[in-house]
A = this chain, B = another copy of it.
Amino acid sequence: MTPREEILVTYRIETPGDPRRFADKIASDQSTGTFVPLPGETETLKDRAGARVHGLTELPPVATPSWPTEGQVFNRAEVTIGYPVEAVGTDLAALTTVALGGVWSIRGLSGLRITDLQLPPSFAGRYPGPQFGTKGTRALTGVQGRPVIGTIVKPALGLPPDETAALVGELVAAGVDFIKDDEKLTSPPYSALEARVKAIMPFIKDHEQKTGKKVMYAFGISDTDPDEMMRKHDVVLREGGNAAVINIQSIGPGAFLFLRKRSGLALHAHRNGWDLLTRHPGLGFDFSVYQQIWRLLGVDQFQINGIGAKYWEPDESFVRSFANLQKPIFSEADRAMPVVCSGQWGGQAPETYARTGQTVDLLYLCGGGVVSHPNGPGAGVRAVQAAWEAAVAGIPLAEAAKTNPDLAASLVKFGR
């Protein structure tokens, strides 16, 4: 008999009761069981289809529950449960439903967080994975040996296509490698996607003809309607674009896969709303779990904040996310390119470099940090490039700034 193949999911359980009892309950409820014993729920069926509790590690209890709950002390344990592939299959939506969804509904818990997911070999090759990733992004942008440096068109909302295109013209001339629509910009009445693409792409193509450098522009093609999103995708491709910003939470996994299967564009993921799923340390998901799903579905470039981000996320969390994206699930090809962003301006380059394994395989995205540089966006881009050169060479930024006035101006304006 072959050993059964299992999907391993690790939960951190928190309860005023006994965590072991809840581990058993998850294994039963999320596979064969219901609230009363059933006629057909035989031992043979449980062996074939039932989930199994593999390991349980007690953790120190806490005095404050994650969900408001009656009690004095909240016991915690980390437990790994094995779900049989034979019963769940290899569809990610099925996996989500069985193992990553209903668990938050269980009465008697005061918290639950999913901290690890290990997919068995059956999932290898089941989904397309990234089409471009770091290697493809480098090939499309022509940037080697340093981070791809990007910026974001701001203001986020309100600019008509011609004004956006004029700004893009400035940014392209400034020497940036990558530009994106703000994730909040998709296709509002005043800036319909097709009009925007047609206004912007000539600037990209002119610059390419003049310099040989093709700036990657990621257009916001997200749409609730996958048919409409594909139409937008086709417009971008037809006009010579090569990337798109996708608000993965807003459209959901199915629509993303639909796009990926047909896509000719590098897919840049903005994980809008992710914070609700991870910010409470006792609830939701670790990014290590979440990012596996989206990488298998085909995210090429994954936004993960950065050092000193303007949002709530602590630096350590960003550093872990970066490592998550670097780690193969089944092969090197399923790694997504980390997009380091939020409040970035170059000043974080040394720490980013030091804490992410001294790699330059990343997209370094600066919004205000480039476009609000006191000497203009061109100086902003040069300052960021200089900061990364210094970081890689191990030269302190203050030192490097002595011979680089753009970096010096950045340090004065953005430095803390």
Contacts and interface: CB of A to CB of B under 8 A. Distances in A.
B96 A249 contact: yes
Contacts of A41: 154-155
A396 interface: no
Given A30-B184, A32-B158, A247-B93, A273 B68 contact: no
A34 interface: yes
A255 B250 CA distance: 11
Interface in A62-99: 64, 66-68, 85-89, 91-94, 96-98
Contacts of A68: 64, 280-281
A101 B272 contact: yes
Interface string A182-194: 0110111110000
A311 B26 CA distance: 12
A230 to B, nearest CB: 10
B189 A36 contact: no
Interface stretch (A45-53, A137-145, A201-209): A45-53
A118 interface: no
Given A255-B254, A273-B102, A276-B104, A188 B94 contact: yes
A381 interface: no
A94 B312 contact: no
A224 interface: yes
Interface in A216-234: 222-227, 229
A138 B59 CA distance: 52
Interface stretch (A171-179, A321-329, A367-375, A401-409): A367-375
Interface in A1-46: 30-41, 45-46
B188 A106 contact: no
Contacts of A273: 96-97, 100-102, 104
Given A36-B368, A273-B102, A258 B226 contact: yes
Among A106, A154, A159, A184, find the residue whose CB has the most chain B CB atoms closer than 10 A: A184
A252 interface: yes
A249 B276 CA distance: 15
A247 B108 CA distance: 24
B254 A251 contact: yes
Contacts of A49: 155, 157-158, 190
Interface string A235-268: 0000000000001011111111110010000000
A374 to B, nearest CB: 11
Contacts of A275: 102, 104-105
A297 B253 CA distance: 16
A253 B279 contact: no
Contacts of A40: 154-155, 159, 163, 167
A361 B172 CA distance: 60
B272 A367 contact: no
Contact of A254 (B87, B94, B252): B252
A141 to B, nearest CB: 23
B107 A155 contact: no
A223 B91 CA distance: 7
A183 B97 contact: yes
A109 interface: yes
A279 B86 contact: no
Given A68-B281, A94-B250, 14 more contacts: A31-B156, A31-B157, A38-B154, A87-B188, A91-B187, A93-B224, A98-B184, A102-B184, A104-B275, A107-B311, A108-B312, A224-B253, A225-B261, A254-B254
